Amino acid sequence: MEKKNKNKKEWVRVLKFVLFSASAGIVQIGSFTLFNECTEWRYWPCYLISLLLSILWNFTFNRRFTFKSNANITRAMLLVLAFYAVFTPVTTVLGDWLAEDLLWNEYLVTGINMLLNLSLEYLYQRYVVYRNKVDNR
C-alpha cells in the first residue's frame, strides 16, 4: 500500500511539474515570439533571452510547489545553473544552426528545445537537485 501511495505522489509531482513548466513555456514562447517578430535578431538571442526568463519562472514555482523543498536555495540554484551550463549552449548553437543554416522553422526548433528541456529538467531536478530534499518544507 505504501508503494502505491509513493507512486501516486510521484505522478502528482510529475503533473505539477508539467503544469508549472507549461506556464514557463508560455513565458518562453511569448517572449520568443516578441523578440523574433519585433526585432531583426538571429535565432539565438531570441531563444537565449526567452529561455532565461522561463528558467527563473520555472525554478521559483517548482521549488516551492512541486518539490516542496527546503533545500539550500543557493545550492539548488547552483545545481540548476550546472544543468543549464550544458543545456543552454548546446540548444542555442544547435537551434541557431537548424533555424538559420538549415532553415527549419524557428517555432519548431524552439518547441523541440522546450520538450527536451521539460523532460531533462524534471529528471535532473528530481534526482539531482532535490534528491533527498523532496516534501520536507
Residue 112 lies in a domain: yes
Domain count, the chain: 1
Residue 134 lies in a domain: no
Residue 72 lies in a domain: yes
Residue 137 lies in a domain: no
C-alpha to C-alpha distance for 73 and 77, rounded to whole angstroms? 6
Identify the residue whose cell numbers are 514557463: 24
Residue 17 lies in a domain: yes
Counted residue by residue, the chain has a size of: 137
Residue 63 lies in a domain: yes
Element (H, E) at 47: helix 43-61
Give the pLDDT band (50/70/90) at residue 5: confident
pLDDT at site 24: 95
Residue 104 lies in a domain: yes
C-alpha to C-alpha distance for 129 and 111, rounded to whole angstroms? 25
Yes or no: say if 134 and 126 are a contact pair by the CB < 8 Å rule: yes
Range of the domain at 81: 2-129
Residue 135 lies in a domain: no
pTM of the model: 0.86
Yes or no: say if 82 and 100 are a contact pair by the CB < 8 Å rule: no
Query: C-alpha angle 22/31/83, rounded to 5°?
Result: 60
Chain segment 26-64, per-residue pLDDT in tens: 999 999 999 999 999 999 999 999 999 999 999 989 998
Chain segment 65-101, per-residue pLDDT in tens: 999 888 899 999 999 999 999 999 999 999 999 999 9
